[in-house]
Structure 1
Amino acid sequence: MLTRWLQPLFRYFESRIGPYPEGDVATPPKGLFPFIWHFSRPVWPWLLVMSLLTALVSAAEVVFFRYMGEQVDWLGNVERANFWAEHGAWLMGVGAAVLVGLPLLVLVQSLVTHQSIFGNYPMIGRWLSHRHMLSQSLAFYQDEFAGRVSQKVMQTALAIRETVTKVMDLMVYAIVYFTGAAFLLAQADPWLTLPLAIWLVGYLGIMRFFVPRLRDVSMAQADARAQMTGRVVDSYSNIQTIKLFADTRRELDYAKGAMQGFMATVHRQMRLVTVLSVCLTLLNTLLLVGMAAMAITTWYVDTISLGVLAIAIALVMRVRFMSDWILWEVAGLFENIGTVQDGMNTIAQAPTVSDAPNARALSVPRGEIHFEALRFGYPQAVGEYKTVFDGLDLTIAPNEKVGLIGRSGAGKSTLANLLLRFYDIQGGRITIDGQNIAEVSQTSLRHQIGMVTQDTSLLHRSLRDNIRYGSPDASDEDVWNAVRRAHADTFINDLVDTKGRRGLDAHVGERGVKLSGGQRQRIAIARVLLKNAPILVLDEATSALDSEVEAAIQEQLETLMEGKTVIAIAHRLSTIAMLDRLIVVDEGRIVESGTHQALLAKGGIYARLWQRQSGGFIGLDVTADRPNV
């Protein structure tokens, strides 16, 4: 009944803060306080309200102690015979005010804290961090564990909330309470503040010694936890490889190494905890004994009343219990600060590839692609690059179908990645219909390019969602049309996942592991068929298919390529021999270019590769066939 009555209040306060801020995606700043403020801007007015209400609750508790002390003195002097007749109504009124006023104050404070702030605040951090992580460059994820990144996004957002609320809630409560208690005792007798002052010095000394050490070990523990999670997730993500090589022991040792590193930080932390507990108990015991001795002495010499003695002992007992709580909260505060700093090192990295200011949308009326004096190398150490292209020039005419040929590492896939602007080039430029791709938005660029890769990765969602990923507004009829053209209808209707979902509704597992390589490839082809972009990149698009299915799909790909500019990469030359132009790339340079027949007549690298292949694949060792260029 009470919960139902409070539902409107819950809903009102839960909706005061929007957990999913919109606007441009910005890289969080790297300083601790600017980083925290970046995620706290939408919440700060409510944080101030929370602090004010916390101060009122703390002050009310101190006032209540004072009132109880006065009651002790008053009850010691009042006549019992007429007590209820003279004072009953007033006492009941005060009691009713306390019973109603304090719970209402706590209710409002709790609604602001728990309904408005606690749920929405960390979600703002997760949402903004996730948006930023999705805008990160491809190179960022090639150097990171996905599990490690996701954990830092999750735990950093929570640590930001804990850091800020501890400062603005706990600290306000403690400061108001201790200040009020000291003032109350000083009013009665200044000597009563002496044990409290000595205790405070000792308490601050304990904090100064232990808190930084707890902070350091907490930072190490956060990093060790992320490393441990990353290794475990890496094992689960590559479970097929682990099973294939039957090397569970090595994988266990790999995870155990990270777990042992984490346990080392746990042991360091728990040793500090034990010593801290003993020191704090000793200090609190000294406070209790000292305050009792001082209060009894001042009462004995008749400088304070019995009520003040009762207040002093009650306040000290309360301080004794609070000190434990406050110290651990402060230690937790620095632990969370350590977690925030650790997460900041990952989250506050600017993307290496970013849109230019006021980047316009790419328009592709024709589809001409021009690589001009292209220079690019993959970053190695700081300031060092492994050169792939050094001055490459290539023009692909509108609607021209070009095949790229070369040994592994020659730069074929790199050229496709640069066209998609997964990396920024170090020199030259790439244009589409005269528009420099560095000056258009990445989103609009990739909307205009359809790509099928050799290593097809599907999302752990339904087949329908995977196929419709590049065309969210496509109808089911359009989806099925793409499925049939990709020859994926032969297996889709037979798919059933663990929850009984069938056909297009079946989920495919992480990275599409529930499908065979050929099935994943056909789904990827269906996805690109549905996207119908004016520029098409095929990077070993049929490599995972058997010959019969490949021959059937080849006809659909030829239909798909009509009216499009196409770049096709293949080791199996028979799949690209019919294209308008074939380009042989070696060590980042174009060494041959022409039609299939022209290159055969030339008798160069392509002709030797064609003869050697006989329906097979290009070998890795073509050194003897390289021209002296």
Structure 2
Amino acid sequence: MSSTGDDRRTDQSAAQQPPEHAAEHAAEQPRLNTLRALARIYPFAKPAMPRIYLGMGAALAAGLVALGIPLILQSLVDGPLSTGDANQVWPAVLLVLGLGIVEAIMIALRRWFVLTPGTRIEASMRNALFAKLQDLPVNFHDKWQSGQLLSRAVSDLGLIRRWISFGFVLLIVNGVTIVIGAVILFTWNWLLGLIFIALAIPIWIYGFKFEGKYSVIARRSQDQAGDLATAVEESVHGIRVLKAFGRGKHALKNFSSQAEDLRGTEIEKAKAIAGIWLWLVLLPDIAFALCLLAGLWLASIDQLTVGQLFAFFATATVLRFPIESIGFLLAMTFDTRTATDRYFEVMDSVNTITDPEHPKTIADPKGELVFEGAHFRYQDSPERYPDILNGIDLRLEPGETMALVGLTGSGKSTLTALTTRLYDVTGGSIKVDGVDIRDLTREELRRHIAMAFEDATLFSASVKQNVLLGRDDLDLDSPEADRVLQEALDIAQAGFVAELPDGADTTVGEEGLSLSGGQRQRLALARAVAARPAILVLDDPLSALDVDTEALVEAALRRVLASTTALIVAHRPSTVMLADRVALLEDGRITAVGRHSQLLQDNEHYRYVISSLEDEELEAARQEVNL
């Protein structure tokens, strides 16, 4: 093996990690402090920060206006109300009314400034996450639960948006308001100000302790919510199986158990929040009581006027909400920090299947496909996880149809997945027209090679959109698109499309489950044919078809395969008959290549494999007759 191949094998092996739960994954990551963790949002938030700052300015202006009202009240109590001059009362009342209107306008402006940027930040982060998920290799998706990814894309990003638009702004503004209010309190009387501020210190101490405890609970809650979303998704997708086997109650029991765990965690969160609220409500009330006693004493010895005492308590009342808000703002901040950690766990995932720095191109693809000493294993421990493919050497000439046969579990599907780099070889190479597929961009590679899988997946879109998925060069409304569509449907014997309510414009249900298995397979085959690749890779795409339909499809495929290189995983002897040659996969190696008749004559293991396929086909036919 070349040194280049060794290097690639080492790099790829390092990327193959065993499956892990999201919480275990998080435990392995270095934990940033809250400020640094939240700062990672800044690149997404940067375009929106001018409006966020304006929102902060409006909110701070509202707070300052609110703090200015007690100053007017002081002059009103010590002036007109004490002298009985009614003529001076109305100007003060109108001034207070005016300040109240200004405060309301500033609050409205704060909302107007921050709400739209928050949604744009959320959209930007969600788009980046989706693009990352599309780019990450299949082995990443093999390890991650879909519910965990869904909860990150929806609930976690929604929490981040609400924090940016509300929590972040108010946390900064309320903090500044408390500082300014404290200074004002000290200007009236240092003793009252000291009492009020001194009793706020335990709140901040408890707040710092609260972070460590609450962050752990918040992380557990969000992970459990992701697990619950996975359970719902699996149950919905597997509803036919659950109903067929009468396991609905079993699924409900498992779901209820997970939901109960989440409920317990949420209660634990609520208790933690209640703990900090106890301090946030109790200590300001104690401070009010002590300040009232001290204020009355100071007023009795003429150290404080009645107006100053009234203004002091009015200011303290204004500060009451900013102080009490610290509790839920801290809880929201720590929830957001956890959501940010979860988001960047995905965004920080390393994509091991990437485009080369200096890609090559194939201007005029001929369709030659060559495996040279190709190895593959899913794990990095050769003792526990030996190579599934252990040195594959195979050559498909341009225009040749090669059938790949082997016993169940021999690695046939894995071999086909390597051709389009759904996984990368861990040793050796695969070449198209003499070019290592790792030297091509993934986009170009997948233009030259199209796949149809045994487990046909369709999307919640029209039949036309599903079949022409690989033809982004076509305008779906053009006559050319209709021609390509019809040709592909004819080859796949998908005439049933014309009988659908809206024909090819009919929207198929989620994952195509509104169609039968055979219908889904025919549309998946049509999708691969419509892509018009130089190389067609078919992973047993006819397994759900009846014998008559399969014969019609095979006859139509012969016309397509006459000019296209094809690698077909065969689970039926009739599929083998499509091929020019047959490759036998045994113990991770290609042990024989030749014509079907020649291998039947010369290779005992091949005869055993074919007889196994015949037995499976007969059993399938028998079941079909019984149905």
The CA distance in 2 between the partners of 1:618 and 1:589, in whole Å, is 28
Q: Does the C-alpha gap of structure 1 residues 562 and 72 become closer, same or farther in structure 2, counting only changes over 3 Å?
A: farther
Report the alpha carbon displacement of residue 402 of structure 1 after superposing the two structures with TM. Answer: 0.9
Report the alpha carbon displacement of residue 187 of structure 1 after superposing the two structures with TM. Answer: 1.5
Kindly provide the CA deviation profile for residues 43-76 of structure 1, in whole angstroms up to 9, marking residues without a partner as x. Answer: 3333333333332222222123323322332323
The CA distance in 1 between the partners of 2:289 and 2:266, in whole Å, is 35
Partner residue in 2 for 1:140: 140
Structure 2 counterparts to residues 43-122 of structure 1, below 5 A: 43-76=48-81, 80=85, 83=87, 94=95, 98=99, 101-115=102-116, 117-122=117-122
1:545 match: secondary structure = coil
Contact 2:273 2:327 in 1 (8 A): no
Structure 2 counterparts to residues 350-369 of structure 1, below 5 A: 350-360=350-360, 363=363, 365-369=365-369
Partner residue in 2 for 1:266: 266
Report the alpha carbon displacement of residue 211 of structure 1 after superposing the two structures with TM. Answer: 3.8
Report the alpha carbon displacement of residue 614 of structure 1 after superposing the two structures with TM. Answer: 4.8
Partner residue in 1 for 2:442: 442
Moved more, 174-183 or 269-278: 269-278
Moved more, 269-278 or 327-336: 269-278
Q: Does the C-alpha gap of structure 1 residues 180 and 578 become closer, same or farther in structure 2, counting only changes over 3 Å?
A: closer
Partner residue in 1 for 2:342: 342
1:431 match: secondary structure = strand
Report the alpha carbon displacement of residue 524 of structure 1 after superposing the two structures with TM. Answer: 1.1
Report the alpha carbon displacement of residue 42 of structure 1 after superposing the two structures with TM. Answer: 3.1
Report the alpha carbon displacement of residue 407 of structure 1 after superposing the two structures with TM. Answer: 0.7
Partner residue in 1 for 2:252: 252
Moved more, 344-353 or 172-181: 344-353
Kindly provide the CA deviation profile for residues 368-397 of structure 1, in whole angstroms up to 9, marking residues without a partner as x. Answer: 112112121111669964312233222221
Partner residue in 2 for 1:24: none
The residue type paired with residue 573 of structure 2 is L
Contact 1:463 1:505 in 2 (8 A): yes
Partner residue in 1 for 2:373: 373
Partner residue in 1 for 2:482: 476
The CA distance in 1 between the partners of 2:522 and 2:284, in whole Å, is 71
Report the alpha carbon displacement of residue 159 of structure 1 after superposing the two structures with TM. Answer: 3.0
The residue type paired with residue 39 of structure 1 is F
Contact 1:73 1:307 in 2 (8 A): yes
Corresponding position: 1:487 with 2:488: no
The residue type paired with residue 372 of structure 2 is E
Moved more, 473-482 or 571-580: 473-482
Kindly provide the CA deviation profile for residues 194-223 of structure 1, in whole angstroms up to 9, marking residues without a partner as x. Answer: 122222112213323334322221111111
Report the alpha carbon displacement of residue 269 of structure 1 after superposing the two structures with TM. Answer: 2.0
The CA distance in 2 between the partners of 1:238 and 1:173, in whole Å, is 50
Partner residue in 2 for 1:625: none
Structure 2 counterparts to residues 249-398 of structure 1, below 5 A: 249-360=249-360, 363=363, 365-379=365-379, 385-398=385-398
The structure with higher relative contact order (CA 8 Å, sep 6+) is 2
Aligned length, in residue pairs: 581
2:151 match: secondary structure = helix
2:378 match: secondary structure = strand
1:350 match: secondary structure = coil
Report the alpha carbon displacement of residue 340 of structure 1 after superposing the two structures with TM. Answer: 2.3
Contact 2:405 2:609 in 1 (8 A): no
Moved more, 40-49 or 95-104: 95-104
Partner residue in 2 for 1:21: none
Report the alpha carbon displacement of residue 94 of structure 1 after superposing the two structures with TM. Answer: 4.2
Structure 2 counterparts to residues 215-614 of structure 1, below 5 A: 215-360=215-360, 363=363, 365-379=365-379, 385-472=385-472, 473=474, 474=476, 475-489=481-495, 491-496=496-501, 502-610=502-610, 614=614
The residue type paired with residue 49 of structure 2 is W
Kindly provide the CA deviation profile for residues 166-208 of structure 1, in whole angstroms up to 9, marking residues without a partner as x. Answer: 5641222222211221121222221121122222112213323
Q: Does the C-alpha gap of structure 1 residues 278 and 35 become closer, same or farther in structure 2, counting only changes over 3 Å?
A: closer
Kindly provide the CA deviation profile for residues 452-493 of structure 1, in whole angstroms up to 9, marking residues without a partner as x. Answer: 11111111222222112112424234323322332212x223
Q: Does the C-alpha gap of structure 1 residues 71 and 375 become closer, same or farther in structure 2, counting only changes over 3 Å?
A: same
RMSD between superposed Cα atoms in Å = 2.8
The CA distance in 2 between the partners of 1:503 and 1:411, in whole Å, is 38
Partner residue in 1 for 2:197: 197
1:537 match: secondary structure = strand
1:43 match: secondary structure = helix
Partner residue in 1 for 2:4: none
Identity %: 23
Moved more, 235-244 or 602-611: 602-611
Kindly provide the CA deviation profile for residues 426-475 of structure 1, in whole angstroms up to 9, marking residues without a partner as x. Answer: 22111111222112221221122121111111112222221121124242
The residue type paired with residue 289 of structure 1 is A
2:389 match: secondary structure = strand
Kindly provide the CA deviation profile for residues 332-376 of structure 1, in whole angstroms up to 9, marking residues without a partner as x. Answer: 211221232234334432223222335455545211112112121
The CA distance in 2 between the partners of 1:585 and 1:413, in whole Å, is 11
The residue type paired with residue 488 of structure 1 is A
Partner residue in 1 for 2:45: 40
Report the alpha carbon displacement of residue 572 of structure 1 after superposing the two structures with TM. Answer: 0.8
Contact 1:361 1:445 in 2 (8 A): no
Q: Does the C-alpha gap of structure 1 residues 532 and 29 become closer, same or farther in structure 2, counting only changes over 3 Å?
A: farther
Kindly provide the CA deviation profile for residues 526-557 of structure 1, in whole angstroms up to 9, marking residues without a partner as x. Answer: 21222111110111121110111111111111
The CA distance in 2 between the partners of 1:537 and 1:444, in whole Å, is 16
The residue type paired with residue 281 of structure 1 is V
Contact 1:577 1:596 in 2 (8 A): yes
Moved more, 599-608 or 295-304: 599-608
User: Could you tell me the TM-score, scaled by structure 2's length?
Assistant: 0.86
The CA distance in 2 between the partners of 1:484 and 1:405, in whole Å, is 27
Contact 2:64 2:177 in 1 (8 A): yes
Kindly provide the CA deviation profile for residues 18-41 of structure 1, in whole angstroms up to 9, marking residues without a partner as x. Answer: xxxxxxxxxx99962464234333
1:42 match: secondary structure = helix
Report the alpha carbon displacement of residue 617 of structure 1 after superposing the two structures with TM. Answer: 4.5
The CA distance in 1 between the partners of 2:468 and 2:61, in whole Å, is 55
Contact 1:403 1:567 in 2 (8 A): yes
Q: Does the C-alpha gap of structure 1 residues 615 and 364 become closer, same or farther in structure 2, counting only changes over 3 Å?
A: farther
Contact 1:609 1:618 in 2 (8 A): no
The CA distance in 2 between the partners of 1:189 and 1:137, in whole Å, is 66
Partner residue in 2 for 1:15: none
Q: Does the C-alpha gap of structure 1 residues 207 and 99 become closer, same or farther in structure 2, counting only changes over 3 Å?
A: closer
Q: Does the C-alpha gap of structure 1 residues 155 and 593 become closer, same or farther in structure 2, counting only changes over 3 Å?
A: same
The residue type paired with residue 323 of structure 2 is S
Report the alpha carbon displacement of residue 405 of structure 1 after superposing the two structures with TM. Answer: 1.0
The CA distance in 2 between the partners of 1:209 and 1:608, in whole Å, is 69
Kindly provide the CA deviation profile for residues 210-237 of structure 1, in whole angstroms up to 9, marking residues without a partner as x. Answer: 3432222111111111111111211111
Corresponding position: 1:154 with 2:159: no
The CA distance in 2 between the partners of 1:521 and 1:298, in whole Å, is 88
The CA distance in 2 between the partners of 1:514 and 1:323, in whole Å, is 56
The CA distance in 2 between the partners of 1:573 and 1:495, in whole Å, is 32
The CA distance in 1 between the partners of 2:274 and 2:59, in whole Å, is 31
The CA distance in 2 between the partners of 1:615 and 1:427, in whole Å, is 35
1:584 match: secondary structure = strand
The CA distance in 2 between the partners of 1:420 and 1:59, in whole Å, is 62
Q: Does the C-alpha gap of structure 1 residues 59 and 589 become closer, same or farther in structure 2, counting only changes over 3 Å?
A: same
